[in-house]
Chain A
Amino acid sequence: MSDALKQIKEAATKIYDNIKQKQKAELSAPIRSLNNVVYNVNPGFFELKGQTKKRTLTANTVKSFAQTLRLMSLSKQLIESEDIATKREAYYVSKNWDEARFKEQTESDSVMDDIEAMFQVNREQLGFIADEHGGSVAGQLIVIDKDTNTGEELRIDCTKFGSGSYSIPSDVEHLQFKTDAKAVIAIETNGMFERLNKHSFWKKQNCILVSMGGVPTRACRRFIRRLSDDANIPVYVFTDGDFYGYFNIYRTLKVGSGNAAHINEFFCVPKAKFLGITPQDIIDYKLPTHPMKEVDMKRGRDALKNDPFVKSHKEWQEAIKQQSKLGKRAEQQALAKHGLNFVVSDYLPEKLANRGSWLP
């Protein structure tokens, strides 16, 4: 019996026993927020502090209690029949539950996250998968997968997609890698990934390019983690020069998030380094900028105040202060000011060669 299935049954048994004895039933799960995580450079990811929230079955919680149990029941069915459901499919399954159905997918996603956290497993173990895979790969890499029908080994050469790319699947646990590359470069935008791919940047620098397409999905984070561990190569991250790029994208990739802290251990890339665009790059490369809005500024202040990752890296604190003082942000594409291929010919080679310009 899978671990997740065992835990579902145990939790249900406990509730059933309570009800049988006419006692109040309870469900408890770790609090999913930045306040409930600690960060240490070793092991290098957000770990749960151990605060839990208890949900006692009362008139006010009866609906979410019912929804949680029904979703657990769905998970049990999926695991037993070795099937999967995307988050969106699970949301549509709930439409059969009359009054207990979810109104919006955000509601079912949140209950799903609660169940994950409750059992300290990831959603794939519960039979649920993400709606989007997220993440494209190009470069010096052979991914070894299996044919879904025959189980035969498939070797996917990521240099052979031409102007296209390899797409990261939702479950990456079974993949194996073969590579001689010296590094993985994770890129925020698809646009920048396309430009680098078109100019075969991976060939020139002997590296693997991964497009995250905004905040990296769990599959994307896990893929980068497994690839970099297997091949024992460094990971460099290239995002826009703004607080969203630094913390929502880079920090999530490197140390995980507060919301899914229970699975950060597997879905983080502690060895990742921030390549650019740093606040100093904005000055050094005289990049065209946009003024930061109040919401952007607030993101910086919040990071200084609440983000355990920022709190333990002085470099990042200074970067935030420097950028807040500038009051400006710059996109990756701003490098085009110096010529469309400036990023390929000058910026990235210079940055890769200069360790001192990176941020931790």
Chain B
Amino acid sequence: MVDLALNNSKAHELAKSQREISIAEFFERNRHLLGFDNKRKALLTTIKEAVDNSLDACEEADILPEIIVEITEMGADRFRVAIEDNGPGIVKEQIPKIFAKLLYGSKFHKMKMQRGQQGIGISAAVMYSQLTTGKPARIISKIGAGHPALYYELKINTQTNNPEIISEHVKDWGKESGTRIEIDLEASYNKGRQSVDEYIRETAIINPHVTLIYQPPKGEQLMLVRVTEKKPVQPVEIKPHPYGVEMGMLIKMLQVTTAKTVKQFMKEDFSRVSDKVAEEILENAQVLSKTKPKNVTREMAERIIEGIRNTKIMMPPTDCIVPIGSELLERGLKKEINAEFYATVSRTPNVYRGNPFLVEASLAYGGDIPSEGGIEVMRFANKVPLLYQQGACAINESVCQTNWKSYGLQQSGSNLPQGPLVLVVHIASVWVPFTSEAKEAIAHYPEIIKEIKLAIQEVGRDLGRYVNKKKKVKDEMKKRSYIETYIPHISEALKDILALSDFAESDIKDNLSYLLEHTRGKLDNLEFNPEANTEYDENLARIGREEEERDE
């Protein structure tokens, strides 16, 4: 007989070390996944998460964003950052949860083109601040004229993942509406390719409607003024398309649905599922239409996934994706880079795994761009700059797979091409597939790579035409100077042989110039004119440019 009183089984032994992992521990162990791997990256991630939230909030409220970013050095490896927006503000009850509860938010698995996707970012920054400095995050928010500005000091309870309100009161704040967050953290400030400076610079390029006021820890405040007053069109939220759904998501959706039957669930919670399609899916899955969503077993869910795969379903609507548009994207690039030639394309939407997406690409060539070394690739996903993991990103892969030689650049094998080029690639989607939670690189879906390549090829061809034309003009100039070189020899020889006067000799020269050159037509002037680009903003171009460093 087994003695139940003896707690010496293996399971009991293991149970002694089994306990609930606190949220703080979880964070400690997974900080690299969330973008806090090192001090330098922590500073960038904190600012990035806050700015992303501000921009999303402004856009949702249809406000032209004006965002202030301040970085203050408080001591060795200690910084204070403040991000302030003119957004709609946050209602009183939500403030503590949004900033001091991990995985809380409105965006989790929402099928809408927006910057944040997971509801993890800003609270992770608060958590990091708390763990490295012990200080609470300070928040002021105001939802409009006539409402009070609310001030909070917040911490996260690391055992329960719930907000702890350290202080709470009404404050005087001149702004009509908006939110300001102030966080102290252990960090380090650097310049270069993966710096906060670079993030600010690229954010200004990709958001032509945003005004950014940036105060770096040292040096002057920089004011980066919007190039357009036109607010971006509000993206529409769509229901997920069956082709994009995975097991975990399906089970979660089944749990929260209000539908009475699984058929109704299919029809109401997914896009492009009609009565007929729902029946076909369930028939293919051998699941009864009347089954209650709560009663769908894991095994049945697997069959539904299989059933979806075997059913032909119309692609999702693509009007939920809002491009920046080629005109604005190019103006954004012109603001930052003074080049000779620009080309931009905004492609029509496409679909990968049931998720609509679209690709935009813009390039700047020549002018002030250094001609030595590899090209600069700026990657963006839903208007957010991607600064890390370039090598692992589908954008990088697509650039390398493109044959740049035919566009007049140098390229050895399938490497990044060489030459004076800045390439911007933007992917907009209701669900951008990142390779990790830190949202640094885009996953290699063949449909996405194909679209990126098509976009690159489109701007590449424009570039090729320009480079060719430039080469032709250069050859022609060379030819003309070549002609100019030999004309005096002809006139001098004729003068010697025929004993002509100096006057006749210069007459020969003039006539020869006319005969050999003027018949060749007028030349386009393709010389770089630094004054030609009226969008160019030296302030913007200067930031993040003093040093070039990077770490992956």
Binding site for B on A (CB under 8 A): 8-9, 12-13, 15-16, 19-20, 22, 24, 57-59, 62-63, 65-67, 69-70, 72-73, 76-77, 97-100
Contact = CB atoms under 8 A, between A and B. Distances in A.
Given A19-B511, A99-B485, A65 B490 contact: yes
Interface string B478-512: 01101101110110111011101000000110011
Nearest to A63: B486
Contacts of B489: 66-67, 69-70, 97-100
Nearest to A72: B497
Contacts of A76: 496-497
A76 B512 CA distance: 23
Nearest to A66: B489
B290 interface: no
Contacts of B492: 70, 73
14 contacts: A8-B497, A9-B498, A19-B512, A20-B507, A22-B515, A62-B483, A62-B516, A66-B486, A66-B489, A70-B493, A73-B493, A98-B489, A99-B485, A99-B486
Given A19-B494, A62-B482, A62-B487, 17 more contacts: A12-B497, A16-B494, A19-B512, A19-B515, A20-B508, A24-B515, A57-B490, A57-B516, A58-B516, A65-B490, A66-B486, A66-B487, A66-B490, A67-B489, A69-B493, A97-B489, A99-B486
A22 B511 contact: yes
Interface of A is mostly: helix
B514 interface: yes
A335 to B, nearest CB: 54
Interface of B is mostly: helix
Counting contact residues on chain B (CB < 8 A from A), the size range is 20 to 34
Contacts of A63: 482, 486
Contacts of B514: 22
Given A12-B497, A99-B485, A69 B490 contact: yes
B486 A100 contact: yes
B276 interface: no
Contact of B520 (A13, A24, A59): A59
9 tightest Cβ-Cβ pairs between the two chains A and B: A69-B493, A66-B489, A12-B497, A66-B486, A100-B489, A73-B496, A73-B493, A62-B486, A70-B493
Contacts of A69: 489-490, 493-494, 497
A97 B485 CA distance: 11
Contacts of B508: 16, 19-20
Interface string B460-483: 000000000000000000011011
Interface in B434-476: none
B486 A16 contact: no
B321 to A, nearest CB: 53
A9 B490 contact: no
Interface string B296-326: 0000000000000000000000000000000
B483 to A, nearest CB: 5
Contact of B494 (A12, A58, A59, A98): A12
A130 B485 CA distance: 31
